[in-house]
Amino acid sequence: MHRPSRLLVLCALSAAVLTGCTGKNAVSDGSGGPQLRSLPQGDVNHLLRVADRVPAPTLHGESLDGQPLDLAAMRGKVVVVNFWASWCPPCRAESENLVKVATETKSQGVEFVGVDIKDDRSAARRFVEVHAVPYPSIYDQPAVSLTRLHTLIPQYPPSTLLIDKSGRIAALFVGGVTVTELSGPVQALAGEQA
């Protein structure tokens, strides 16, 4: 009689561990489950045709400064979402490029948001200060965002999503981005009608 009870408890605990919890930071497709739709095969590092764009997942959490940050509040704008970490050499290398494009496109209403993953908060804050990053970052120490976006983006930084004014993923850049790679697509999206 005791054995089935223990087995049920063990199964329930295993399910809870495998399911995970999102805590304050969450990425979702709106259904409460992980984002299941993926981009067309091989469509990385360039702007997607409008017909190939998929809805961007919900992304919200606490910023490095402890403030709430929700991409839903940016709907109607082009949003550049960069997944990074202070310990990631390609993230350090691309930082200047992201800052440059963010500064150049701010007047066009383009928003940049970072998602700092698997990082120490003080190291992440130091990174932002040293690299003069002018935009906020969601602090996602457990990397919930990458886990929930596993069908869309690699499970390691850096990668960058471009979200169009209609809230669809318009581009995915895998690895560090250059100003040349990023600026053209961001400018093109800023010129599109919602």
pLDDT digits (tens, 9 = 90+) for 8-17: 333 332 332 2
Q: What is the C-alpha R_g of the chain? A: 18
Task: Tell me the per-residue pLDDT of 21-48, one tens digit each, with 9 for 90 and over.
Answer: 333 333 433 333 333 345 544 556 789 9
Are 163 and 56 in contact by the 8 Å Cβ rule? The answer is yes
Query: What's the full length of the chain, in residues?
Result: 194
Percent of the chain with pLDDT over 70: 77
pLDDT in tens, 176-189: 999 999 999 999 99
**pLDDT score recorded for residue 114:** 97
Q: Which residues are registered as beta bridge partners of 159? A: 83, 174
pLDDT of residue 30: 38
The band of 50, judged by pLDDT with boundaries at 50, 70 and 90, is: very high
pLDDT of 86 over the 70 cut: yes
Output the pLDDT for position 10.
30
Average pLDDT over residues 113-129: 96
108-134: burial string, b at 16+ Cβ within 10 Å, e else: eebbbbbbbbebeeeebbebbeebebe
What pLDDT was estimated at residue 43? Answer: 57
Q: How large is the average pLDDT for residues 68-96?
A: 96
Give residue limits of the domains in the chain: 25-191
CATH 3.40.30.10 fits 25-191, yes or no: yes
